[in-house]
Amino acid sequence: MKKPDYSRADYYSKKAKAHGFPARSVFKLQELDNRFKIFSKAMRVLDLGASPGSWIKYASEKVGDSGFVLGIDRNPLKLPLNFNENFIQADIFNLNPLDLKTKFGSFDLILSDLSPDLMGQKSTDALRAISLAERAFKFAEILLKPGGNFLVKVFEGPGYEDFYKFLKGSFASVNSSKPKSSRPNSREMYIYCKGFLVGKIKE
């Protein structure tokens, strides 16, 4: 079999397609998983910003047949669903996490790869990314099991430090990382939070 040629175009994009993933973002998740040991068998996972489907596919393979992955995105998936996966096409600002809890129960892990439509203004883009991350935390606040974990994407810039400090008040440990597979000019950071300390909705 001829080996894939990654020397032209984007290395990670071509590598993703060669391995059956629709987007290069799978290698970001793989790097973060290798560093933080995010997944385990039989986990229940919620994936926010799931389209085109690379993170759902990776997560479902990691949690195995006894696990479950629910993806949410305003855009459609580009992969068929496996039996241990589900998907809702919707804007997260139009969804009530309490309704999701009634239908699907709680989760061991919530992933958020949500990203704003970039405007090219670094400060504006960073603030809009924080808004999405804060919305993702609202889902975590309601849908995470006590002791559960949360991985969320943000951009370095205004609001980043304050959001990081905020998360430290709700989890036993909080760490950040920029995967090597992120584009060199990207300001994206991923914050991984372990051990959810709040088992109920904050009043």
Mean pLDDT in residue range 182-187? 72
Going from N- to C-terminal start, the domains of the chain cover 25-196
CA distance 87 to 77: 8
Vertex 70 angle, CA 69 and 73, to 5°: 135
- Which one is catalytic: 28, 57, 62, 153? 153
Does this model's pTM top 0.85? Answer: yes
Full strand arrangement of the beta sheet holding 107-112: 85-89, 68-73, 44-48, 107-112, 144-155, 188-196, 171-177
**What's the pLDDT tens digit per position in 75-103?**
999 889 999 999 999 999 999 999 999 99
What is the Cα–Cα distance from 198 to 59, expressed in whole angstroms?
Answer: 24
Q: In angstroms, rounded to a whole number, what is the distance separating the alpha carbons of residues 125 and 159? A: 11
For residues 35 and 148, give the distance between their C-alpha atoms in angstroms, rounded to a whole number: 18
Angle between helices 160-168 and 122-143 (to 10 degrees): 20
The first and second tokens of residue 104, run together, are: 């699907």
Residue 180 annotated to the active site: no
pLDDT higher than 70, residue 183: no
Look at 74 and 78; give whichever has higher pLDDT: 74
pLDDT at 8 over 70: no
Q: Which CATH architecture has domain 25-196?
A: 3-Layer(aba) Sandwich (3.40)
Question: Is the separation of the CB atoms in 73 and 49 below 8 Å?
Answer: yes
